[in-house]
A and B are shown apart, each in its own frame.
Chain A
Amino acid sequence: MGNETAGSGGYGPVLLDHFEHPRNLGEIPRPEAAVTVRAPGSRDSLQLTFRIRQDRIVEVRFRAGGCPVAIAAGSVATGLLEGRSIVEALGLKDSEVIQALGGLPSPRLRRSVLVARAVREALGAHPH
């Protein structure tokens, strides 16, 4: 049944660290932009809230549900997004998020990285 996992589950130290000690967890009150996206057919979800000043992201907070990748990806993404202009943020690819996590043990786990979609839905219509 399923895959049998104990200890690290085959994940690298960066991913595990973000899973165990997520950065920028929570939500920004009265954010300039906010989004919650869910992966179809799984429990994976990602919520991002943004504080934006002069077309630049000055703060991002996240919440995530589902598998370890979804949670760690949300955490690492906040660091990648903070300080970017909206245009730069819209250019963020999930492959960069995966790289920042130190890679994934299986290519199939890519579907748990919901960052690019969330950013597009949150900021795509934002004036920039």
Chain B
Amino acid sequence: MDHNATTPLHEEVLEAMMPYLTDQFANPASITHAAGRVVRDAVEAARAEIAAFVGAQPSEIVFTSGATESDNLALKGAAWAHRDHGDHIVTSATEHKAVLDTCRWLQNNGFRLTVLPVDADGLVDPAAVAAALSDRTILVSVQHANSEIGTIQPVEEIGRLCRERGVLFHCDATQSVGRIPFSVADVSCDMAAFSGHKFYGPKGIGALFVRRRVRIEPILSGGGQENGRRAGTLNVPGVIGLAAACRVARRDREAESLRLLQLRTILLDDIVSNVPGARLNGHPVRRLPNNLNFSFPGVEGEALILGMKTVALSSGSACTADEPGPSHVLKAIGLPDELGHATLRFGLGRGNDESEVRSVAAALAGAVARLRSLSPTS
């Protein structure tokens, strides 16, 4: 039940990839021979399919190793290419570390950074984005949906105002592509990052949408692949797998979203009814259909996960985590440390059904009650 971290490979995706893991191994850049041209054609067909899935043109898709690289390429690439026009970057406090840490890297390398706060539900205020823009602002980066608390940002509004002000807008859509509708036209973004493994595609493949005529500097130098925007031999099985994942999502997403929403409602109702004091984090409505994030006062997240044994979940903190204390997202929504330590994320997916959700809720209620009963009375 940790599908916001990753998802298993869909059987149709694996089937589509298999020829490119075996017989069709040619380098798509090797167009001097037929085998290379066959693979190149397959890659370009995949590119077209992926582009169509997010409403882009094929030439606007750059393949990467995943969303982290896509975010790095978008931010470093655009900042570097536009450094003659300004030096100011705006982002939000609940971005993924791939965005936040990259923005901080840019800050350490001569750019100025504004990190906008979010409200208690995790929402960025578009008016705050507008107020942060100056004639030195070159780039705004706001995620579509949050990986921990599921909150969906008003990116359409933010994209519109960036366009009106002539500022580049990058949208980290890693949690949303394949899960909820995402269109680069609706969001008015200049760049958008996503990856395959969040929606039943393979790990190790991602893409960056770069709108036509938007200049970015490559962060990897070498063979000039991807029109000079990302050097390195293409991960062909990954590209084919990403396209297959888009194909499956195009067919199944709407029905699956509805199913997950129903499961999520059952899980939420069961938790609220059976665990006294449970507190929902993130926006109650504007959130990913598969995500719940709860704090359980009086217990600690890792002990709770261990107490539930067979369920794969993710906690908002752990005493073994590299980041001590609650995550930056939980801190940004103002959750007290006391509750941040007692937080679990539920990420529903294809493999989950109603009986599993109900048994998780029951196991959770039992584990919370047991842990509370162990605690000191004074």
Contact = CB atoms under 8 A, between A and B. Distances in A.
Contacts of A22: 374
> B interface, by DSSP: helix, strand, loop or mixed?
loop
A17 to B, nearest CB: 12
A67 B314 contact: no
A43 B338 contact: yes
Contacts of B323: 2
Interface stretch (A58-66, A81-89, A91-99): A58-66
Nearest to B344: A2
A9 B310 CA distance: 11
A1 interface: yes
A52 to B, nearest CB: 19
A124 interface: no
Contacts of A66: 300, 303, 341
A68 B376 CA distance: 15
Given A1-B148, A5-B305, A27-B377, 6 more contacts: A2-B315, A43-B299, A47-B376, A68-B302, A68-B306, A106-B320
A45 interface: yes
20 contacts: A2-B316, A2-B317, A2-B318, A3-B302, A3-B321, A4-B2, A4-B5, A4-B315, A5-B315, A6-B312, A8-B306, A9-B305, A25-B374, A41-B337, A43-B300, A47-B378, A63-B374, A66-B341, A71-B303, A109-B320
B311 A2 contact: no
Interface residues of B, number: 43
B74 interface: no
Nearest to B301: A2
Contacts of B17: none
Given A63-B374, A108-B320, A6 B310 contact: yes
A94 to B, nearest CB: 15
B290 interface: no
B64 interface: no
What 3 A-B pairs come out closest when comparing CB atoms? Answer: A47-B376, A65-B375, A6-B312
A67 B378 contact: no
Contacts of B302: 2-3, 5, 9, 67-68
Contact of A7 (B309, B329, B341, B377): B309
A7 B307 CA distance: 9
B340 to A, nearest CB: 10
A50 interface: no
A1 B314 contact: yes
Interface string A102-117: 0001101101100000
Contacts of B148: 1
B325 A41 contact: yes
B313 interface: yes
Given A1-B327, A6-B311, A19-B306, A45 B320 contact: no
